[in-house]
Amino acid sequence: MGQATYTIVTFAGDGIGPEVTAEATRVLATIGERFGRHFKTVPLLIGGAAIDQYGIPLRPEEIAACRQADAVV
C-alpha cells in the first residue's frame, strides 16, 4: 500500500510570518522523514502580499484550497 500524502496549505503572511512559516515547513519535513509521512505544502498568499499581487487580502481561490487541504498553517 502506498504512503499517504497530507496536503498542507501555508500562508506566510506579513511581518515575521515568512520566517516562521519557513521553519514550520522545515519541521514538517523532519517529522515526515522521521515518522514516514509525506507532506505536500502549498504556499499561498494572504494579507499584504496578496493585496500587492491580487488587490485583495484573501481570494476565494485560497479559501477553496484551504477547504480541500488536510491542514492550514
User: Does position 3 have pLDDT exceeding 80, yes or no?
Assistant: no
* Cα first-last separation, the chain: 28
Going by the DSSP 8-state scheme, the letter that residue 36 receives in this structure is T
Q: pTM for the complete prediction?
A: 0.87
Q: How many helices (H) and strands (E) does the chain have?
A: 3, 3
Tens digits of residue pLDDT in 16-70: 899 999 999 999 999 999 999 999 999 999 999 999 999 999 999 999 999 999 9
pLDDT at 13: 86
How many folded domains does the chain comprise? 1
Domain range for 56? 5-72
- Compute CA distances 40 → 9, 54, 67, 68, whole Å: 8, 24, 15, 13
